[in-house]
């Protein structure tokens, strides 16, 4: 059986959360509305972390995690996105950081985890070039306020996720659709990740700076030319679109005519210097691989996912394929970039339908098996010499899981959203035992 000590004494173990998914108090203490408050209106009190952060950080400690990754809500600090600062919001994150330090837990702060101030969305959000000045103001404020306490910073969480789901497919906030919206949002987010890195570097001494990318191994359904090309298009979007401009390689236009057309029509896309930043680490967030086949009837990408259940493959309650070998493969794919100095797994986890027994125990054996198999694959990579410095489980407790609402439970800790009672699942106790060994 694997154990944490197999990864080395300097390997960092953490658990991750996000402000919009756990805080609650969405319209209290001076906070402005975010795009998710406007788009969903269902998060409500979420996990009430705003009022119970001390107890929840104590849970992080109890489970044995030395690192806690959380995000700062942009509209809680700047209700209008820019301008007037909400001092109550400033104070709250000072208290969260101080509590982490008091409990000897290392804070990893994510600056943008999808909760854009709605006031900025009214001006175009990530499709507007003005978003970059607003984002830089927010990052500068965070660096000024918390830079003497926080060393570890993550600029963006999954830029492909929030640009594709929110600005092309419309299934996440703010609900916009279309290729034009998507590529505008992509370009401004790519600028933001590099700008944010430069600001933290200039403002925070000894900062350890990263950004995170969602990633999935993309597997062609067959070895036909059409399926191979379809897989290449999806890989370009999901895995290459943000990391390659960051490395000074420009946008990955060579394998897809559509991207080349956008590069030509947007002259600023040819200027790579502002898109480039030398991050100390790159965070990878992986949950599943994607098997795709060519489909001429799907607009733009001409590709279609072949679901795991239709291929009789193991899958989570989200329908996501469970494949630790693909976890291994996609990490190797990113590790092959010569510009990446250090990798961290900043999210990994699974949703299964937990059942609470009459004695309030949650025996989530499937989740434990998921973690154990993926950590075994990660250890193999470490032993092969891949520079991976940490792993963060998603997530501390069941939360507001975006478009899935409160149904999709990824937590190591069960949360009763009516009473806010927390119950540690067997997977939480498994991690506690794993980290102690």
Statement: residue 263 has pLDDT above 80: no
Statement: residue 247 has pLDDT above 70: yes
Statement: residue 255 has pLDDT above 90: no
Statement: residue 5 has pLDDT above 70: yes
Statement: residue 270 has pLDDT above 60: no
Instruction: Identify the active-site residue in 99, 145, 347, 401.
Output: 347
Distance CA 242, CA 276 (A): 10
Which of residues 129 and 272 earns the better pLDDT score? 129
For residue range 73-103, list pLDDT tens digits in order.
999 999 999 999 999 999 999 999 999 999 9
Q: How confident is the model at residue 6 (pLDDT cuts 50, 70, 90)?
A: very high
Residues 130/133/136/137 CA torsion (nearest 10 deg): -110
DSSP 197-256: HHHHHHHSTT-EEEEEEE---EEESSSSHHHHHHHHHHHIIIIITTHHHHTTS----TT-
Q: So what's the pLDDT on residue 260?
A: 82
Which of residues 264 and 272 earns the better pLDDT score? 272
Residues 180/184/187/188 CA torsion (nearest 10 deg): -160
Among 22, 12, 144, smallest CA distance to 71 is for 22
Residues 112/215/63/411 CA torsion (nearest 10 deg): 80
CA–centroid distance for 404 within its chain: 16
Statement: residue 174 has pLDDT above 70: yes
Statement: residue 417 has pLDDT above 80: yes
Q: How many domains does one find in the chain?
A: 1
Q: So what's the pLDDT on residue 372?
A: 98
Arithmetic mean of pLDDT, 388-403: 98
Radius of gyration of the chain, Cα coordinates, nearest whole angstrom: 21
Q: So what's the pLDDT on residue 267?
A: 53
Q: How confident is the model at residue 265 (pLDDT cuts 50, 70, 90)?
A: low
Q: How confident is the model at residue 253 (pLDDT cuts 50, 70, 90)?
A: confident
Active site residue 347: yes
Spell 12-39 as b/e; 16+ CB within 10 A means b.
bbbbbbbbbbbbbbbeeebbbbbbbbeb
Q: For 31, which DSSP code?
A: P
Active site residue 158: yes
Arithmetic mean of pLDDT, 389-399: 98
Arithmetic mean of pLDDT, 241-254: 92
Arithmetic mean of pLDDT, 33-41: 96
CA–centroid distance for 119 within its chain: 23
Host domain of residue 187: 4-436
Q: So what's the pLDDT on residue 254?
A: 83
Statement: residue 309 has pLDDT above 90: yes
For residue range 418-434, list pLDDT tens digits in order.
999 999 999 999 999 99
Q: So what's the pLDDT on residue 409?
A: 98
Q: Structure pTM?
A: 0.98
Arithmetic mean of pLDDT, 223-251: 96
**CATH code (residue 187):** 3.20.20.80
Arithmetic mean of pLDDT, 351-374: 95
Statement: residue 305 has pLDDT above 80: yes
Instruction: Identify the active-site residue in 99, 158, 321, 401.
Output: 158
Q: What percent of the chain has pLDDT over 90?
A: 92
Statement: residue 1 has pLDDT above 90: no
């Amino acid at each position: 059986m694997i154990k944490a000590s197999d990864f080395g004494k300097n390997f960092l173990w953490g658990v991750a959360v996000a402000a919009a998914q756990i805080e609650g108090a969405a319209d209290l203490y001076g906070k402005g509305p975010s795009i998710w408050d406007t788009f969903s209106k269902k998060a409500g009190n979420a996990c009430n972390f705003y009022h119970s952060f001390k107890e929840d950080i104590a849970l992080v400690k109890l489970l044995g995690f030395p690192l806690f990754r959380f995000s700062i809500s942009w509209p809680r600090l700047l209700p209008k996105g820019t301008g007037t600062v909400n001092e109550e919001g400033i104070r709250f994150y000072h208290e969260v950081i101080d509590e982490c330090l008091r409990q000897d837990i290392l804070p990893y702060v994510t600056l943008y985890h999808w909760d854009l101030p709605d006031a900025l969305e009214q001006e175009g959000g990530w499709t507007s070039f003005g978003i970059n000045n607003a984002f830089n103001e927010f990052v500068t404020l965070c660096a000024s306020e918390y830079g003497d306490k926080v060393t570890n910073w993550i600029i963006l969480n999954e830029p492909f996720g929030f640009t594709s789901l929110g600005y092309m497919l419309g299934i996440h906030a703010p609900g916009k659709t279309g290729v034009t919206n998507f590529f505008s949002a992509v370009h401004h987010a790519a600028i933001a990740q590099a700008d944010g890195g430069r600001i933290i570097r200039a403002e925070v001494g000894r900062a350890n700076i990263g950004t995170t990318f969602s990633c999935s191994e993309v597997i062609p359904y067959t070895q036909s030319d059409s399926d191979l090309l379809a897989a290449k298009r999806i890989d370009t979007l999901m895995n290459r679109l943000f990391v390659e401009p960051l490395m000074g390689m420009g946008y990955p236009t060579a394998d897809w005519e559509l991207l080349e057309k956008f590069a030509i029509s947007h002259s600023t896309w040819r200027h790579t210097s502002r898109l480039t930043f030398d991050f100390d680490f790159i965070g990878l967030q992986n949950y599943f691989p994607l098997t795709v086949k060519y489909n001429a009837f799907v607009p733009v990408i001409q590709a279609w996912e072949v679901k795991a259940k239709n291929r009789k493959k193991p899958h989570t309650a989200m329908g996501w394929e469970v494949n630790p070998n693909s976890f291994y493969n996609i990490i190797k794919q990113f590790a092959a970039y010569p510009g990446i100095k250090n990798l961290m797994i900043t999210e990994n986890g699974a949703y299964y339908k937990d059942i609470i027994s009459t004695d309030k125990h949650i025996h989530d054996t499937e989740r434990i098996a998921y973690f154990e198999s993926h950590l075994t694959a990660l250890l193999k990579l470490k032993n092969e010499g891949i520079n991976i410095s940490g792993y963060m489980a998603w997530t501390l407790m069941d939360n507001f899981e975006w478009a899935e609402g409160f149904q999709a439970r990824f937590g190591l800790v069960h949360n009763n959203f009516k009473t806010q009672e927390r119950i540690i699942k067997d997977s939480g106790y498994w991690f506690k035992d794993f980290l102690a060994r």
